[in-house]
């Protein structure tokens, strides 16, 4: 999800699960949520594949399996439902080209946006704990609400310390009131998190942050930028479309739990 931090002290019990062709055991997620979590290494299901997934999870005492599926495969959706996979999100990826040639016209800089500083982190962590209720973790009642908020606070910390990432903030009256995390992924750049405090909504700060990301992407030599959001998050989609992003793909997130409710 957000990295491979080993800073959490809680250890997992039971036999150690290693990566296989069928599933990958997620150490960070497992430690953070205090359970054994894995991800399926496939995007479609048939009867043979689902049996293999469930057997692997049983053998490795998995509590929760993440499955990111092709959205347009009817058989996968049917088999997932029949085998207690719960759909928790429709993952929408949007993208836009970044023209780094001489004709590229970067968006005008907004004087309210600057690089994040270490002194901003306490405020940013607190904001991040409340600004992402549309995520698949909040939509799955098995995950503790407080831990879901802390997940995004940890994401802010990771983005601030990772040399491949940068964080920009809008500043009002000397205080950061939002953030955008920007990451380099090979020839592409990607938005990780974007959030603006509710009291400052409607002031164009989200647009200013995305435009800052576009300028940063061009300076990094990126040819293409992308962002992932939820299909149910209409406000985010509208903002990204306004800034030149177009839909690229749709996928379904499923969670399959093996613990009793």
Residues 107-117 pLDDT 10s: 667 889 999 99
Among 129, 146, 142, which Cα is nearest to 35's? 142
Q: Residue 1: its pLDDT value, please?
A: 33
C-alpha 49, offset from chain centre:
26
91 assigned to some structural domain: no
3-state secondary structure the chain: CCCCCCCCCCCCCCCCCCCCCCEEECHHHHHHHCCCEEEECCCCCCHHHHHHHHHHHHHCCCCEEEEEEECCCHHHHHHHHHCCCEEEEEEEEEEEECCCCCCCCCCCCCCCEEECCHHHHHHHHHHHCCCCCCCCCCCCCCCCHHHHHHHHHHHHHHHHHCCCEEEEEEEECCEECEEEEEEEECCEEEEEEEEECHHHCCCCHHHHHHHHHHHHHHHCCCCEEEEEEECCCHHHHHHHHHCCCEEEEEEEEEEEECCCC
Q: 221 vs 97, 139, 228, CA distance in Å? A: 11, 37, 21
Stretch among 4-18, 35-49, 90-104, 159-173 having the lowest mean pLDDT:
4-18
Same domain for 74 and 103: no
Domain annotation covers residue 52 = yes
Domain end call among 54, 83, 112: 83
Instruction: Say whether pLDDT at 104 is over 80.
Output: no
**Which one of 83, 112, 144 terminates a domain?**
83
**What span, in angstroms and rounded, lies between the C-alpha atoms of 237 and 235?**
5
Name the band, by pLDDT with cuts 50, 70 and 90, for residue 11: very low
Q: Which two tokens stand for residue 257?
A: 């739990």
2 & 69 share domain: yes
Residues 171-183 have pLDDT tens digits of 999 999 999 999 9
Question: Is residue 13 predicted with pLDDT exceeding 60?
Answer: no
Please state the domain count of the chain.
Answer: 2
In this structure, are 1 and 113 located in the same domain? no
Query: Region 133-149: what's the mean pLDDT?
Result: 95
Average pLDDT over residues 44-55: 97
Same domain membership, residue 132 and residue 61? no
Residue 181 maps to which CATH number? 3.40.630.30
Average the pLDDT over 238-252 and give the result. 96
pLDDT band at 17 (very low <50, low <70, confident <90, very high): very low
Residues found in the chain: 261
On whether both 58 and 120 belong to a single domain, the answer is: no
For residue 115, being part of any structural domain is answered with: yes
Is the same domain home to 109 and 227? yes
> Does 155 fall in a domain?
yes
- Residue where the block lists tokens 């970067």: 106
Mean pLDDT, the chain, rounded, equals 90
Q: Does 89 map to a domain?
A: no
Same-domain pairing of 68 and 109: no
Q: Are residues 215 and 189 in the same domain?
A: yes
Q: What percent of the chain has pLDDT over 90?
A: 84
**Residues 100 and 216 grouped into a single domain:** yes
Please check whether residues 116 and 72 belong to one and the same domain: no
pLDDT band at 105 (very low <50, low <70, confident <90, very high): low
Please check whether residues 49 and 148 belong to one and the same domain: no
Q: Which of 85-89, 131-135, 256-260 has the lowest mean pLDDT?
A: 256-260
Choosing from 57, 83, 109, the residue where a domain stops is 83
The pLDDT, as a whole number, for residue 106 is 59
- The reply to whether 261 falls in a domain is no
Could you read off the pLDDT of 187-210 as tens digits, one per residue?
999 999 999 999 999 999 999 999
159 is a domain residue: yes
Domain residues for 39? Answer: 1-83
**What are the pLDDT digits (tens) for 145-156?**
999 999 999 999
Is residue 72's pLDDT more than 60? Answer: yes
> Do 240 and 115 have their domain in common?
yes
Reported as a pLDDT band with limits 50, 70 and 90, residue 63 is very high
Give domain status of residue 259, yes or no: no
């Amino acid at each position: 999800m957000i990295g491979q931090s080993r800073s959490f002290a809680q250890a997992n019990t039971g036999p150690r699960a290693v990566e296989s062709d069928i599933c990958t055991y997620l150490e960070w997620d497992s430690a953070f949520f205090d359970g054994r979590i894995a991800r399926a290494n496939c995007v479609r299901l048939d009867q043979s594949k689902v049996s293999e997934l469930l057997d692997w999870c049983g053998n490795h005492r998995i509590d929760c399996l993440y499955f990111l599926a092709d959205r347009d495969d009817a058989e996968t959706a049917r088999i997932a439902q029949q085998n207690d996979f719960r759909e928790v999100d429709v993952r929408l990826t949007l993208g836009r080209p970044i023209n780094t040639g001489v004709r590229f016209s970067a968006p005008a800089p907004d004087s309210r946006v600057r690089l994040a500083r270490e002194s901003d982190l306490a405020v940013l962590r607190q904001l991040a704990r409340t600004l992402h209720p549309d995520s698949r973790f909040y939509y799955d009642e098995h995950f503790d609400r407080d831990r879901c908020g802390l997940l995004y606070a940890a994401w802010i910390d990771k983005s601030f310390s990772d040399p491949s990432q940068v964080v920009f903030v809008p500043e009002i009256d000397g205080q950061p009131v939002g953030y955008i995390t920007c990451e380099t992924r090979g020839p592409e750049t990607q938005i990780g998190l974007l959030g603006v405090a509710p009291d400052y909504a409607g002031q164009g700060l989200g647009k200013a942050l995305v435009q800052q990301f576009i300028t940063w992407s061009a300076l990094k030599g990126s040819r293409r930028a992308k962002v992932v959001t939820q299909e149910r998050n209409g406000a985010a989609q509208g903002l990204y479309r306004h800034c030149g992003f177009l839909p690229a793909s749709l996928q379904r997130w499923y969670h399959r739990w093996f613990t009793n409710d």
